[in-house]
Amino acid sequence: MLGQGRVLIHTGDGKGKTTAAFGAAMRASGHGLRTAVVQFIKGNWDYGEAKALTSLANVELRRIGSGFTWLAEDPAEPRALAQEAWRVSRELALSERYDLLVLDELNCALTEGYLETEDVLALLREKPTQLSVIITGRGAPQELMDAADTVTEMRSVKHAFDRGVPARRGIEY
């Protein structure tokens, strides 16, 4: 028996939010828990974390996004993809097939106005009791943080990118 699920939020301007959530998914997998991950916003870029997760038998990864939303030629595209990711997320959450659901970059979809915070809060109220949910992304709405069991804020102290150093495969992505 898993007991009561949790709601965890990883937010802030520092790096590591997705990596921490994916680490939790790997931990859950190691204990035989059924895990689903839905990536909002991020496209099919070559993320090492995504590659690692797809090698785990009890983790399902759904990547629904177009990448950097501010680069979209048609602003309706990232909105439609975020709404599709939300539909899939609700379906997975309410299916009772999973012990952990990671909603990667959901906070960004909320901040961009693609989705409504109240819809997320409603899902957290109606989710199966045993389901834990991890939500990542900058700018978590206060109402969401208030509803969470655990909130972690990643704070950037210093980042190589600020000095013009490009992201390195296997380190930053």
Q: Looking at residue 109, which CATH number applies to its domain?
A: 3.40.50.300
**HSE on the CB side for 21, CA within 13 Å?**
33
Q: 96 lies in a domain?
A: yes
Q: 169 lies in a domain?
A: no
How many domains does the chain contain in total?
1
Tell me how far apart the alpha carbons of residues 81 and 8 are, in angstroms, rounded to a whole number: 24
Residues 114-143 pLDDT 10s: 999 999 999 999 999 999 999 999 999 999
Residues 1-34 pLDDT 10s: 457 999 999 999 999 999 999 999 999 999 999 9
Q: 89 lies in a domain?
A: yes
Q: Tokens 């204990």 appear where? A: 31
Among 72, 70, 23, 68, smallest CA distance to 48 is for 23
Helix axes 76-94, 117-126, angle to 10 degrees: 10
The answer to whether the CB of 28 falls within 8 A of the CB of 156 is no
Domain that holds residue 71: 7-154
The answer to whether the CB of 39 falls within 8 A of the CB of 50 is yes
Q: Which amino acid is at 118?
A: E
Q: Which two tokens stand for residue 160?
A: 């190589």
